[in-house]
Chain A
Amino acid sequence: MKISKSIRISRNQLLSNKIRTILSLIGIIIGVSAVIIMVAIGNGAQKEVLNKIESMGTNLIVVNAGQVQKTSGRQQIRGTVTTLTIEDADILASECPAVSKSTPVQTKKLLVKWGNLSSNTTITGTTSDYQTIRNFYIERGTFFSEEENKASVRYAVLGQTVVKNLFGKNDPIGETLRIGRVPFKVIGIMESKGTDLNGVDQDDQIFIPVQTALRRVFNLTYINTINLQVLSSNEMDFAIKQVSEVLRERHRLDRLNKSDDFTIQNQVELLETQKETTDTFTALIVSVASISLIVGGIGILAIMLIAIKERIKEIGLRMAVGASRKDILLQFIIEASILSVGGGVIGIFIGVFIAIMASIATEWTLSISIPSIIYSFLFSLAIGLFFGVYPARKASMLDPIESLRSE
């Protein structure tokens, strides 16, 4: 018997029992679309992380004062370490051949006022090199220069969120706001940057010269962070070693036989930490989705077994009128395959549709991956065959007389 005839018989069978067919399709549809959506979410999350890391700046090394503790993928600095200074930043740029630029950073959350309005905002004391190192540039107006920093002028550059919160539709450039009690003149507005890896809004930030920040606002002599740009990405490890040596020397750690009072992190490390988290997340949701595919397969198995019980007489009749065992086997395998392939195809459409809708409706980044579509389709086909072969074999081994006699 030709395959095309078997396919026609199977199709007619499935069409003649629509509710049962739809029920068994639903399992596979949900499974396949779940896999596609979940992989899209996982991929999207990963892409977002990569984008953020890239937007942090190229070949970036971050030196933090104190030992950074990693707890569940996030970093926290423990205690206050007062040994990192602006001079360290300058020396690192001049003494480490692999480091091209450096900028000191000291941040603190403070109350900012303009007119009647106030806002609690991160104040970042830094230098103009911050823009190149962190790949975060001025959009309008000017950034304060190195000379202005050295002169401790009270100039401020605002992030987009600050502008929105304090000034609304007014033009902030030229206006004077108060950081704590100190008046600052707004000279520029930064481009929009979005959230960082920890979900902190980077636009809710005011940049002021680091010298001004330490002397007039924070009243400190030390800083908590130095950002460094390395000449090229293959010199990262080399740069880290140089920075570590210079800092240990400057902080006299070797002589006092102390461990590092700073932590050096590079992009790759950050990337790996984040990737680990998203990988685990993706693996978890995809495995949950895969389980639903298997459940869908078991649904097919159950429906096929019921179908055979119900159609035992029909099977006997088909054998009596000339169907060979192979014909019966083929018919039921094809039936299971139609269910799984049909469910797979519908599931792909629904999955892709929902993923697209979700990425439009929410702010999540969803990235539909072609391999996930192929994988889930092949998986559903394999499941259909796997769970279809057993009932099909069972059907083909039936005794024609007993089948005909059964009620």
Chain B
Amino acid sequence: MNNIIVKAERLTKVYNKGVGGDVFALRDVSLEIHKGELIAIMGASGSGKSTLMNILGCLDKPTEGSLFFEEKEVSKLGDKELASVRNKKIGFVFQSFNLLARTSALENVELPLIYSDKVNVTKLAKDALNLVGLADRVHHHPGELSGGQQQRVAIARALVNDPDIIFADEPTGNLDTKSSYEIITLFQKLNKEGRTIVLVTHELDIAEHAKRIIKVSDGRIVSDELNNSPRNAETELNKLVKEVKNEN
């Protein structure tokens, strides 16, 4: 696997909290993410996993160390180039969906395209919604959709510009078990189609679906292992559905 998308070298992130002294969110973290990977970054809250994801996703800058995104050093990019990288190469999925209220699913998905130079905006957005199975919810507003559906709109938004990598920060954190499995099923399907996905989670249950699990604690990577037998979310979802049926 030579196709390195993101390469982090000795990342350190320090928050200056004043009275209490400096807080190290990340210490000396190095890692590589290759094309086609499905990675789970695991850790308790406050372990630094979100900070790591934000830096890898070019949203935040490390205090020390360097980050290469497709061989370009991110710290050397200007605001405009950085915005362009986030727009074209990276897709984000958040725990709280972050959809625009009073705006249809379609328009939410179109949002990244507005900042690109793509022309057939509506068609691309519809395709992306189709891919996440929401072709029939195009004109619904976020308030009219379930949590799982909202998160799928958010995934469609992350997919719409055909990015090289998708970062998902606790994508199932606000969802019930069934919806969580649906979302993970979707991620596994997208990964199978060749997309690179990084999931940030604190639940082992979710992390076990990834092909590689990176454990973060106290700002350091404590383990980075390949998961040779990732769980399949689809089978679990089917099992769950069957159980519910039997109970009824």
Chain A interface residues toward B at CB < 8 A? 1, 5, 9, 12, 16, 313-314, 316-327, 400-401, 404
Contacts and interface: CB of A to CB of B under 8 A. Distances in A.
B: interface residue count bin: 20 to 34
A313 B115 contact: no
Given A1-B114, A321-B112, A324-B79, 18 more contacts: A1-B115, A5-B114, A314-B100, A316-B98, A317-B98, A320-B59, A322-B86, A322-B116, A322-B161, A323-B87, A323-B115, A324-B80, A324-B84, A325-B83, A326-B80, A327-B83, A327-B115, A404-B98
B187 interface: no
B59 A322 contact: no
14 contacts: A1-B115, A5-B114, A16-B103, A316-B98, A318-B111, A321-B115, A321-B157, A322-B88, A322-B116, A322-B161, A323-B83, A324-B79, A327-B83, A401-B54
Given A5-B114, A400-B59, A401-B54, A322 B100 contact: no
B60 A401 contact: yes
A100 B29 CA distance: 105
Interface string B84-116: 101110001010001010110000000110111
Interface string B167-191: 0000000000000000000000000
Nearest to B158: A321
A318 B87 CA distance: 9
A322 B60 contact: no
Highest count of chain A CB atoms <10 Å: which of B54, B82, B115, B161: B115
Contacts of B100: 314, 317
Interface in B68-88: 79-80, 82-84, 86-88
Contacts of B112: 321-322
Contacts of A324: 79-80, 82-84, 115
A5 B121 CA distance: 12
Interface of B: 54, 57, 59-60, 79-80, 82-84, 86-88, 92, 94, 98, 100, 102-103, 111-112, 114-116, 157, 161
Contacts of A318: 111, 115
Nearest to A311: B100
Contact of B114 (A9, A400, A404): A9
Nearest to B99: A317
A175 B161 CA distance: 99
Residues of A contacting B: mostly: helix
Contact of A320 (B88, B92, B116): B92
Contacts of B92: 320-321
Nearest to B97: A317
Q: 6 nearest interchain CB pairs?
A: A322-B87, A324-B83, A321-B112, A322-B115, A16-B102, A317-B98
B119 to A, nearest CB: 11
B87 A401 contact: no
B83 A319 contact: yes
Nearest to A328: B83
B80 A321 contact: no
Contacts of A319: 59, 83, 86
A313 B79 contact: no
B225 to A, nearest CB: 28
Contact of B84 (A9, A12, A320, A322): A322
B83 A313 contact: no
A178 to B, nearest CB: 84
Nearest to B89: A322
A322 B92 CA distance: 10
A313 B54 contact: no
Contacts of A316: 98
Nearest to B78: A324
B105 to A, nearest CB: 15
Contacts of A322: 83-84, 86-88, 112, 115-116, 161
Contacts of A16: 102-103
B128 to A, nearest CB: 13
A321 B87 CA distance: 5
A404 B57 CA distance: 14
Highest count of chain B CB atoms <10 Å: which of A320, A326, A327, A400: A320
A320 B54 CA distance: 10
B98 to A, nearest CB: 5
A325 B59 contact: no
Contacts of B157: 321
A387 B223 CA distance: 52
B79 A325 contact: yes
B59 A321 contact: no
Contacts of A327: 83, 115
A320 B115 CA distance: 11
Contacts of B98: 313, 316-317, 320, 404
Contacts of A321: 86-87, 92, 111-112, 115, 157
Highest count of chain B CB atoms <10 Å: which of A318, A321, A401: A321
B79 to A, nearest CB: 5
Contacts of B114: 1, 5, 9
Nearest to A6: B114
Contacts of A323: 83, 87, 115
A320 B103 contact: no
A361 to B, nearest CB: 43
A320 B161 CA distance: 13
A318 B84 CA distance: 12
A316 B82 CA distance: 14
Contacts of B54: 401
Nearest to B154: A317
Contacts of B115: 1, 318, 321-324, 327
B49 to A, nearest CB: 14
A16 B103 CA distance: 9
Contacts of B84: 322, 324
Nearest to A8: B114
A12 B101 CA distance: 12
